[in-house]
């Protein structure tokens, strides 16, 4: 019998259009999504857990400088990289998250360790990195995360008269959601946040219930976009609540929450899967790096809204 599974990933939503994204960036984005999808799909195909699949997919994207997570994360106003990540297991409602980490190669692996090896859910700053060292999570020098392109993007923002932070958010937070052969769902999200962020700003990505949530009774959700608005709406948990308590489909819940996000002036998107194997996405930006595969379908990879 074929094991049934579904994997959906994203590499951020934003203002990507065929006429503004260079062919090289377009190709790099698609190649990165394909590699991440393959890493997660290999685990699910072998009967592995959704939790392992979402972590594997996100780790590939964290290593890929084309995306704003791990290596290639955007710079803070002070010219540093500070990563946020979260992971959640829908079977037991276990969750782990980290914010502002600077010396951990895979922030999502650190979030997983917080979930598995600590009594806590959310660790921040240098303490989170220290926890990783104490639990065998791979370190990386802060310089490893930094790329010339992200430095250039920070310089561009700082040169604007109204320099605040990057409100276009087109630099590719990453995430994955999956359902495995046992019907368990999981979600993971990882990001460098917004270019030019300061004051220790943390967005929705590592906040359980805002940017990341998974519940076997409902769905798994990973978000990308205007973090402050996602936090105010509690988007990821709200999607799960509408599915669980109101009986909505994941498609209706995702579409409606993205509409409600827009009503509050927020831009962005979500990826979703349900324990019954359906999966998809919704977004209100011109594009979103996204990909999906199931046990009986070929990889589907897209960037622009009309693909
Ligand atoms: N949601 C992320 C944040 O607010 C950014 C993004 O998805 O582009 O940090």
Tell me the pLDDT tens digit for each residue of 8-43. Answer: 999 999 888 999 889 999 999 999 999 999 999 999
pTM, full prediction: 0.96
Average pLDDT over residues 241-266: 98
Residue 86 covered by a domain:
yes
**If pLDDT is split at 50, 70 and 90, which confidence band does 168 have?**
low
CATH number at residue 19: 3.60.20.30
Distance 290 CA to ligand 1 centre (A): 15
Q: Is 173 an annotated catalytic residue?
A: yes
Query: Residue 288: what pLDDT?
Result: 96
Q: How far apart are CA 307 and CA 290, in angstroms?
A: 11
Q: Which of 16, 70, 76, 169 to mutate to test the pocket of ligand 1 (most atoms within 8 A of CB)?
A: 169
159 pLDDT band, cuts 50/70/90, is: confident
Say what the pLDDT of residue 155 is: 86
Can you name the residues that pair with 176 across neighbouring β-strands?
Answer: 9, 188
- Do residues 55 and 193 lie in contact, with contact meaning Cβ atoms separated by under 8 Å? no
Burial of 24 (0-12, 13-18, 19+ CB in 10 A): exposed
C-alpha 227 chain-centroid distance: 12
Is 60 exceeded by the pLDDT of residue 167?
no
Q: Candidates 72, 164, 227, 231: which one to mutate for ligand 1, based on the most atoms within 8 Å of Cβ?
A: 227
Q: Interior CA angle at 220 toward 270 and 7, to 5°?
A: 80
Give Cβ neighbours of residue 268 (< 8 Å, ≥ 6 apart).
Answer: 13, 169, 223, 224, 225, 226, 229, 230, 258, 261, 283, 284, 285
Summarize the confidence of residues 284-289 as an average pLDDT: 96
The pLDDT, as a whole number, for residue 156 is 86
Over range 133-162, report the average pLDDT.
Answer: 90
Q: Of residues 103, 104, 173, 191, which has the active-site annotation? A: 173
Please report whether residue 192 resides in a domain.
yes
* Long-range Cβ contact pairs of 147-151 (< 8 A, separation 24 or more): 147/65, 147/71, 147/72, 149/65, 149/72, 150/72, 150/73, 150/74, 150/75, 150/81, 150/192, 150/195, 151/75, 151/79
pLDDT at residue 169, as a whole number? 56
Whether residue 276 is contained in a domain is answered as yes
Residue 43: inside a domain: yes
Alpha-helix runs per DSSP H in the chain = 23-45, 50-63, 107-117, 125-134, 142-145, 148-159, 227-233, 235-246, 250-263
Whether 12 lines ligand 1, by a CB cut-off of 6 Å, is yes
What is the atom index within ligand 1 of the atom nearest the CA of 171? 8
Q: What is the pLDDT of residue 202?
A: 97
pLDDT band at 166 (very low <50, low <70, confident <90, very high): low
Write out pLDDT tens, residues 175-225: 999 999 999 999 999 999 999 999 999 999 999 999 999 999 999 999 999
Task: Please indicate, yes or no, if residue 245 is contained in any of the structural domains.
Answer: yes
182-219 core/surface letters (b: 16 or more CB in 10 A; e: else): ebbbbbbbbbbbbbbbeeebbbbbbbbbbbbbbbbebb
**How many separate domains does the chain show?**
1
pLDDT (0 to 100) of residue 271 = 98
Which domain does 52 fall in, by range? 6-304
Confidence of residue 163 (pLDDT cuts 50, 70, 90): low
- What's residue 160's pLDDT? 79
Ligand 1 pocket residue status of 189, Cβ below 6 Å: no
Residue 169 is assigned to a structural domain of this protein = yes
What average pLDDT does range 124-143 have in this prediction?
97
Domain-located, residue 52: yes
Q: Is ligand 1 within 6 A of the CB of residue 192?
A: no
Q: What is the pLDDT of residues 213-223, one digit of tens each?
A: 999 999 999 99
Please write the tens of the pLDDT for every residue from 53-71: 999 999 999 999 999 999 9
**Residue 103 — pLDDT band, cuts 50, 70, 90?**
very high
Assigned domain for 1 exists: no
**Pocket of ligand 1 contains residue 204 by CB under 6 Å:** yes
Q: How far is the CA of 117 from the centre of ligand 1 (A)?
A: 27
**Which residue's C-alpha comes closest to atom 7 of ligand 1?**
224
Question: Looking at residue 214, what is its pLDDT?
Answer: 98
pLDDT of 165 over the 70 cut: no
260, 252 Cβ separation under 8 angstroms: no
């Amino acid at each position: 019998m074929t094991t049934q599974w579904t994997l959906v990933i994203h590499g951020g939503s934003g203002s990507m259009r065929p006429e503004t994204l260079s062919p090289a960036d377009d190709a790099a984005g698609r190649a990165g999504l394909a590699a991440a999808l393959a890493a997660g799909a290999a685990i699910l195909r072998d009967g592995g857990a959704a939790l392992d699949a979402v972590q594997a997919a996100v780790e590939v994207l964290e290593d890929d400088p084309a995306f704003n997570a791990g290596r290639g994360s955007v710079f803070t106003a002070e010219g540093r990289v500070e990563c946020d990540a979260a992971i959640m297991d829908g079977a037991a409602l276990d969750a782990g998250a980290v914010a502002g980490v600077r010396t951990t190669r895979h922030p999502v692996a650190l979030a997983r360790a917080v979930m598995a090896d600590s009594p806590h859910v959310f660790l921040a700053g240098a303490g989170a990195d220290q926890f990783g060292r104490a639990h065998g999570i791979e370190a990386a020098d802060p310089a490893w995360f930094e790329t010339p392109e992200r430095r250039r993007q920070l310089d561009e923002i700082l040169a604007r008269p109204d320099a605040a932070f990057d409100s276009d958010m087109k630099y590719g937070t990453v995430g994955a959601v999956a359902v495995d052969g046992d019907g368990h769902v999981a979600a993971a999200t990882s990001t460098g946040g917004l270019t030019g962020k300061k004051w220790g700003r943390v967005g929705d990505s590592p906040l359980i219930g805002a940017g990341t949530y998974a519940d076997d009774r409902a769905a798994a959700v990973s978000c990308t976009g205007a973090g402050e608005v996602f936090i105010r709406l509690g988007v990821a948990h709200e999607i799960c609540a509408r599915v669980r308590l109101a009986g909505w489909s994941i498609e209706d819940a995702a579409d409606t929450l993205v509409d409600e996000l827009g009503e509050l002036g927020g831009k962005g998107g979500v990826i979703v899967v349900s324990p019954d194997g359906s999966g998809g996405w919704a977004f209100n930006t011109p594009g979103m790096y996204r990909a999906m595969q199931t046990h009986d379908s070929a990889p589907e990879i897209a960037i622009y809204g009309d693909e």
